[in-house]
Structure 1
Protein backbone atom coordinates (compact mmCIF):
# COMPACT_ATOMS: atom_id res chain seq x y z
CA UNK A 1 0.00 0.00 0.00
CA UNK A 2 1.39 3.31 -1.08
CA UNK A 3 1.71 6.03 1.42
CA UNK A 4 0.02 9.28 0.31
CA UNK A 5 1.67 12.51 1.06
CA UNK A 6 -0.40 15.17 2.69
CA UNK A 7 0.54 18.78 2.04
CA UNK A 8 -0.67 21.36 4.49
CA UNK A 9 -1.28 24.90 3.42
CA UNK A 10 -0.30 27.67 5.72
CA UNK A 11 -2.83 29.93 7.47
CA UNK A 12 -2.00 32.95 5.27
CA UNK A 13 -2.66 31.00 2.09
CA UNK A 14 -5.92 29.60 3.44
CA UNK A 15 -7.07 33.10 4.41
CA UNK A 16 -6.15 34.42 0.95
CA UNK A 17 -8.13 31.67 -0.77
CA UNK A 18 -11.13 32.36 1.45
CA UNK A 19 -10.97 36.10 0.75
CA UNK A 20 -10.78 35.50 -2.99
CA UNK A 21 -13.79 33.19 -2.79
CA UNK A 22 -15.70 35.85 -0.87
CA UNK A 23 -14.83 38.44 -3.51
CA UNK A 24 -16.16 36.16 -6.25
CA UNK A 25 -19.38 35.53 -4.36
CA UNK A 26 -19.72 39.24 -3.63
CA UNK A 27 -19.23 40.11 -7.31
CA UNK A 28 -21.87 37.61 -8.37
CA UNK A 29 -24.35 38.87 -5.78
CA UNK A 30 -23.74 42.50 -6.77
CA UNK A 31 -24.10 41.87 -10.50
CA UNK A 32 -27.18 39.71 -9.97
CA UNK A 33 -28.65 42.68 -8.09
CA UNK A 34 -27.81 44.97 -11.02
CA UNK A 35 -29.56 42.59 -13.43
CA UNK A 36 -32.58 42.43 -11.14
CA UNK A 37 -32.61 46.24 -10.86
CA UNK A 38 -32.47 46.64 -14.65
CA UNK A 39 -35.31 44.20 -15.24
CA UNK A 40 -37.42 45.74 -12.47
CA UNK A 41 -36.89 49.22 -13.92
CA UNK A 42 -37.93 47.92 -17.36
CA UNK A 43 -41.14 46.44 -15.99
CA UNK A 44 -41.83 49.55 -13.93
CA UNK A 45 -41.47 51.94 -16.87
CA UNK A 46 -43.44 49.66 -19.21
CA UNK A 47 -46.34 49.11 -16.85
CA UNK A 48 -47.54 52.75 -17.03
CA UNK A 49 -48.64 52.20 -20.64
CA UNK A 50 -49.01 48.42 -20.67
CA UNK A 51 -51.76 48.35 -18.06
CA UNK A 52 -54.00 50.47 -20.28
CA UNK A 53 -53.17 48.50 -23.44
CA UNK A 54 -53.55 45.05 -21.85
CA UNK A 55 -56.28 45.45 -19.25
CA UNK A 56 -58.96 47.11 -21.37
CA UNK A 57 -61.98 45.57 -19.67
CA UNK A 58 -63.87 48.33 -17.88
CA UNK A 59 -61.92 51.07 -19.67
CA UNK A 60 -63.25 53.41 -22.30
CA UNK A 61 -62.35 51.82 -25.65
CA UNK A 62 -62.89 52.85 -29.22
CA UNK A 63 -61.15 54.13 -32.32
CA UNK A 64 -59.15 57.26 -32.96
CA UNK A 65 -58.87 58.83 -36.39
CA UNK A 66 -55.55 60.63 -36.72
CA UNK A 67 -56.03 64.21 -37.91
CA UNK A 68 -52.70 65.94 -37.26
CA UNK A 69 -49.20 65.03 -36.07
CA UNK A 70 -46.43 67.16 -34.60
CA UNK A 71 -42.93 66.17 -33.44
CA UNK A 72 -43.93 63.78 -30.64
CA UNK A 73 -47.71 63.28 -30.61
CA UNK A 74 -50.61 62.91 -32.97
CA UNK A 75 -54.11 64.16 -32.30
CA UNK A 76 -57.46 63.09 -33.61
CA UNK A 77 -61.07 62.42 -32.73
CA UNK A 78 -62.15 59.54 -30.53
CA UNK A 79 -65.25 57.47 -31.26
CA UNK A 80 -66.26 55.06 -28.47
CA UNK A 81 -66.83 51.39 -29.27
CA UNK A 82 -70.02 51.20 -27.22
CA UNK A 83 -72.61 53.50 -25.62
CA UNK A 84 -70.71 53.62 -22.31
CA UNK A 85 -67.99 55.87 -23.69
CA UNK A 86 -68.14 59.51 -24.66
CA UNK A 87 -67.09 60.92 -28.00
CA UNK A 88 -64.11 63.24 -27.74
CA UNK A 89 -63.19 65.74 -30.43
CA UNK A 90 -59.48 65.79 -29.55
CA UNK A 91 -57.32 63.09 -28.00
CA UNK A 92 -53.58 62.58 -28.24
CA UNK A 93 -51.49 59.48 -28.92
CA UNK A 94 -47.75 58.87 -29.17
CA UNK A 95 -46.53 59.49 -32.73
CA UNK A 96 -44.45 56.31 -32.85
CA UNK A 97 -47.56 54.06 -32.88
CA UNK A 98 -49.08 55.61 -35.99
CA UNK A 99 -47.86 56.19 -39.52
CA UNK A 100 -50.03 58.75 -41.27
CA UNK A 101 -52.97 61.08 -40.93
CA UNK A 102 -56.35 59.55 -41.61
CA UNK A 103 -55.35 56.26 -40.01
CA UNK A 104 -57.88 54.63 -37.66
CA UNK A 105 -56.53 52.81 -34.60
CA UNK A 106 -58.11 50.76 -31.85
CA UNK A 107 -57.33 52.50 -28.57
CA UNK A 108 -58.18 52.73 -24.88
CA UNK A 109 -58.42 56.03 -23.01
CA UNK A 110 -56.19 56.59 -19.99
CA UNK A 111 -58.61 57.39 -17.16
CA UNK A 112 -58.92 61.06 -16.31
CA UNK A 113 -57.00 62.27 -19.40
CA UNK A 114 -57.47 62.93 -23.09
CA UNK A 115 -54.58 60.60 -23.85
CA UNK A 116 -55.16 57.27 -25.60
CA UNK A 117 -53.06 54.10 -25.84
CA UNK A 118 -53.07 51.71 -28.76
CA UNK A 119 -54.54 48.28 -27.96
CA UNK A 120 -54.17 44.92 -29.66
CA UNK A 121 -50.92 43.07 -30.18
CA UNK A 122 -49.14 46.09 -31.61
CA UNK A 123 -50.09 48.28 -28.65
CA UNK A 124 -49.22 45.66 -26.06
CA UNK A 125 -45.81 44.93 -27.58
CA UNK A 126 -45.10 48.65 -27.99
CA UNK A 127 -45.91 49.21 -24.31
CA UNK A 128 -43.27 46.62 -23.35
CA UNK A 129 -40.45 48.18 -25.42
CA UNK A 130 -38.70 49.59 -22.29
CA UNK A 131 -38.64 46.07 -20.86
CA UNK A 132 -37.06 44.78 -24.10
CA UNK A 133 -34.35 47.42 -23.71
CA UNK A 134 -33.81 46.28 -20.14
CA UNK A 135 -33.42 42.71 -21.40
CA UNK A 136 -30.72 43.85 -23.82
CA UNK A 137 -28.82 45.72 -21.11
CA UNK A 138 -29.17 42.79 -18.72
CA UNK A 139 -27.73 40.46 -21.33
CA UNK A 140 -24.55 42.52 -21.39
CA UNK A 141 -24.21 42.37 -17.60
CA UNK A 142 -24.95 38.63 -17.53
CA UNK A 143 -22.38 37.93 -20.26
CA UNK A 144 -19.63 40.27 -19.13
CA UNK A 145 -19.98 40.31 -15.37
CA UNK A 146 -21.51 36.97 -14.47
CA UNK A 147 -19.77 35.06 -17.28
CA UNK A 148 -23.00 33.25 -18.20
CA UNK A 149 -22.79 33.57 -21.96
CA UNK A 150 -25.52 31.13 -22.98
CA UNK A 151 -28.00 32.71 -20.61
CA UNK A 152 -27.00 36.14 -21.89
CA UNK A 153 -27.61 35.05 -25.48
CA UNK A 154 -31.10 33.86 -24.58
CA UNK A 155 -31.92 37.07 -22.71
CA UNK A 156 -30.51 39.26 -25.49
CA UNK A 157 -32.30 37.36 -28.25
CA UNK A 158 -35.60 37.64 -26.36
CA UNK A 159 -35.13 41.41 -26.21
CA UNK A 160 -34.22 41.65 -29.90
CA UNK A 161 -37.15 39.42 -30.90
CA UNK A 162 -39.60 41.52 -28.91
CA UNK A 163 -38.30 44.74 -30.45
CA UNK A 164 -38.35 43.25 -33.94
CA UNK A 165 -41.91 41.95 -33.70
CA UNK A 166 -43.07 45.25 -32.23
CA UNK A 167 -41.70 47.33 -35.06
CA UNK A 168 -43.03 44.87 -37.67
CA UNK A 169 -46.53 45.22 -36.21
CA UNK A 170 -46.37 49.00 -35.99
Structure 2
Protein backbone atom coordinates (compact mmCIF):
# COMPACT_ATOMS: atom_id res chain seq x y z
CA UNK A 1 0.00 0.00 0.00
CA UNK A 2 1.14 3.53 -0.74
CA UNK A 3 1.33 6.43 1.68
CA UNK A 4 -1.31 9.16 1.37
CA UNK A 5 0.20 12.67 1.25
CA UNK A 6 -1.64 14.94 3.64
CA UNK A 7 -1.28 18.28 1.87
CA UNK A 8 -4.65 19.64 0.78
CA UNK A 9 -6.49 16.64 2.20
CA UNK A 10 -7.83 17.91 5.50
CA UNK A 11 -11.36 19.24 5.38
CA UNK A 12 -12.83 20.88 8.48
CA UNK A 13 -16.45 22.00 8.64
CA UNK A 14 -18.51 23.89 11.22
CA UNK A 15 -21.91 22.16 11.32
CA UNK A 16 -24.73 23.69 13.37
CA UNK A 17 -26.71 20.48 14.06
CA UNK A 18 -26.13 16.73 13.84
CA UNK A 19 -28.70 14.29 15.23
CA UNK A 20 -26.43 11.20 15.35
CA UNK A 21 -22.73 12.06 15.55
CA UNK A 22 -21.77 8.50 14.62
CA UNK A 23 -23.62 8.79 11.29
CA UNK A 24 -23.99 12.42 10.17
CA UNK A 25 -26.22 12.78 7.12
CA UNK A 26 -25.34 14.47 3.86
CA UNK A 27 -27.99 17.13 4.46
CA UNK A 28 -26.54 17.92 7.91
CA UNK A 29 -22.99 18.14 6.56
CA UNK A 30 -24.06 20.22 3.55
CA UNK A 31 -25.72 22.69 5.94
CA UNK A 32 -22.29 23.35 7.44
CA UNK A 33 -19.49 25.72 6.42
CA UNK A 34 -16.16 24.45 5.07
CA UNK A 35 -14.00 26.50 7.43
CA UNK A 36 -10.69 24.84 6.54
CA UNK A 37 -10.43 27.09 3.46
CA UNK A 38 -9.70 30.01 5.82
CA UNK A 39 -7.55 28.18 8.35
CA UNK A 40 -3.82 28.77 8.66
CA UNK A 41 -1.50 25.88 7.77
CA UNK A 42 -1.06 25.19 11.50
CA UNK A 43 -4.67 26.00 12.36
CA UNK A 44 -6.04 22.62 13.50
CA UNK A 45 -4.76 22.44 17.07
CA UNK A 46 -5.33 19.96 19.91
CA UNK A 47 -7.58 17.44 18.17
CA UNK A 48 -5.47 14.52 19.39
CA UNK A 49 -7.00 12.47 22.18
CA UNK A 50 -5.09 11.92 25.39
CA UNK A 51 -5.66 8.84 27.54
CA UNK A 52 -5.00 9.03 31.28
CA UNK A 53 -3.36 6.14 33.10
CA UNK A 54 -5.11 4.27 35.90
CA UNK A 55 -2.56 2.49 38.04
CA UNK A 56 -3.15 -1.22 38.65
CA UNK A 57 0.04 -1.64 40.67
CA UNK A 58 -0.19 -2.71 44.28
CA UNK A 59 1.98 -2.10 47.27
CA UNK A 60 3.88 -5.33 46.61
CA UNK A 61 4.38 -4.60 42.91
CA UNK A 62 7.88 -4.34 41.51
CA UNK A 63 6.69 -3.03 38.16
CA UNK A 64 4.27 -0.20 37.37
CA UNK A 65 1.21 -1.37 35.45
CA UNK A 66 -1.70 0.67 34.09
CA UNK A 67 -4.95 0.45 32.20
CA UNK A 68 -6.74 3.12 30.22
CA UNK A 69 -8.46 5.87 32.16
CA UNK A 70 -10.41 8.87 30.96
CA UNK A 71 -9.87 10.20 27.47
CA UNK A 72 -9.76 13.92 26.89
CA UNK A 73 -8.68 16.68 24.54
CA UNK A 74 -6.83 19.78 25.65
CA UNK A 75 -5.89 23.01 23.98
CA UNK A 76 -8.35 22.48 21.13
CA UNK A 77 -8.61 25.50 18.89
CA UNK A 78 -8.86 26.60 15.31
CA UNK A 79 -6.62 29.30 13.83
CA UNK A 80 -7.84 31.47 10.95
CA UNK A 81 -6.73 34.21 8.57
CA UNK A 82 -8.99 37.26 8.93
CA UNK A 83 -11.08 37.89 5.80
CA UNK A 84 -12.06 41.32 4.51
CA UNK A 85 -15.72 42.25 4.37
CA UNK A 86 -18.15 39.85 5.99
CA UNK A 87 -15.94 37.23 7.66
CA UNK A 88 -18.21 34.18 8.01
CA UNK A 89 -16.00 32.40 10.56
CA UNK A 90 -15.57 35.47 12.75
CA UNK A 91 -19.31 36.18 12.76
CA UNK A 92 -20.41 32.54 13.13
CA UNK A 93 -18.00 31.06 15.68
CA UNK A 94 -18.76 33.54 18.45
CA UNK A 95 -18.30 32.94 22.18
CA UNK A 96 -20.77 30.35 23.56
CA UNK A 97 -21.84 29.23 20.06
CA UNK A 98 -22.34 25.47 20.01
CA UNK A 99 -22.07 23.14 17.07
CA UNK A 100 -19.92 20.42 15.62
CA UNK A 101 -16.45 20.43 14.11
CA UNK A 102 -16.30 17.71 11.45
CA UNK A 103 -12.89 16.47 10.29
CA UNK A 104 -12.32 14.48 7.12
CA UNK A 105 -8.91 13.36 5.84
CA UNK A 106 -7.41 11.59 2.82
CA UNK A 107 -9.53 13.26 0.12
CA UNK A 108 -9.00 16.63 -1.55
CA UNK A 109 -10.56 19.20 0.80
CA UNK A 110 -13.06 20.63 -1.75
CA UNK A 111 -14.42 17.14 -2.55
CA UNK A 112 -18.09 16.90 -1.59
CA UNK A 113 -19.14 14.59 1.20
CA UNK A 114 -20.47 11.19 0.14
CA UNK A 115 -22.06 8.30 1.97
CA UNK A 116 -19.56 5.90 3.51
CA UNK A 117 -16.76 8.43 4.03
CA UNK A 118 -15.04 8.24 7.43
CA UNK A 119 -15.20 11.44 9.50
CA UNK A 120 -14.61 12.59 13.05
CA UNK A 121 -17.34 14.62 14.75
CA UNK A 122 -16.55 16.86 17.74
CA UNK A 123 -19.43 18.45 19.73
CA UNK A 124 -18.00 21.82 20.82
CA UNK A 125 -18.65 25.25 22.29
CA UNK A 126 -16.66 28.25 21.10
CA UNK A 127 -14.64 30.35 23.53
CA UNK A 128 -13.67 33.98 23.16
CA UNK A 129 -11.89 34.85 19.91
CA UNK A 130 -8.23 35.63 20.53
CA UNK A 131 -6.29 37.80 18.10
CA UNK A 132 -2.77 36.60 17.37
CA UNK A 133 -0.06 39.19 17.98
CA UNK A 134 0.88 41.00 14.77
CA UNK A 135 4.13 40.16 13.06
CA UNK A 136 5.75 41.19 9.78
CA UNK A 137 4.90 39.53 6.48
CA UNK A 138 1.75 37.75 7.53
CA UNK A 139 -1.99 38.27 7.40
CA UNK A 140 -4.14 39.13 10.39
CA UNK A 141 -5.00 35.97 12.30
CA UNK A 142 -7.22 34.90 15.14
CA UNK A 143 -7.91 31.76 17.15
CA UNK A 144 -11.17 30.28 18.35
CA UNK A 145 -10.68 28.09 21.44
CA UNK A 146 -13.07 25.13 21.59
CA UNK A 147 -14.46 23.18 24.54
CA UNK A 148 -15.66 19.61 24.06
CA UNK A 149 -19.26 19.47 25.27
CA UNK A 150 -19.67 15.71 24.83
CA UNK A 151 -17.63 12.69 23.82
CA UNK A 152 -16.69 12.97 20.13
CA UNK A 153 -17.29 10.30 17.48
CA UNK A 154 -13.78 9.47 16.25
CA UNK A 155 -14.87 6.67 13.88
CA UNK A 156 -18.05 8.11 12.41
CA UNK A 157 -19.21 7.35 8.87
CA UNK A 158 -21.28 9.62 6.65
CA UNK A 159 -24.77 8.11 6.38
Larger RCO: Structure 1 or Structure 2 (Cα < 8 Å, ≥ 6 residues apart)?
2
**Same fold, TM-score > 0.5, yes or no:** no
Name whichever structure is richer in strand by fraction: 2
